[in-house]
Amino acid sequence: MNRVFKVRVSVPEEYADRMMDAIDANMEPVYPGYTRTFSIVRSKGTWVSEKGSKPFIGKQDEAVCVEELILEFAVKEKDLKEVLRAIGRKHPYEEPGVDVIEIIPWRSLL
């Protein structure tokens, strides 16, 4: 069985469409007959940018709390590195919040 991963990435809402387009352009569909398949969840992100950082939002040494969207999608192992590179190239944040979790495709359990 081919390995599949669930990826979550937080982005400012105005960057969501371009991020989904960049991700989709760098992967083969996981679900036959469907492309650009994402779950989107509204969230709030918070952080303090430390000395030496170049924050996209906020200033160094100040707490920031912003509205974001979490984009969640499945990707095949063979496409994972290119998808992560695309996120790194297109994401506005210096250090985007990205989670990668191995999953079991539900149909493989039938």
Mean pLDDT by 10 residues, the chain (110 residues): 92 97 97 96 96 92 96 98 98 96 91
Angstrom distance (rounded) from CA 23 to CA 74: 11
Q: Is 6 helix (H, G, I), strand (E, B) or coil?
A: strand
Domain architecture of the chain: domains with CATH: 4-43+71-109 (3.30.70.120)
Angstrom distance (rounded) from CA 65 to CA 109: 40
Angstrom distance (rounded) from CA 21 to CA 1: 27
pLDDT the model gives residue 1:
59
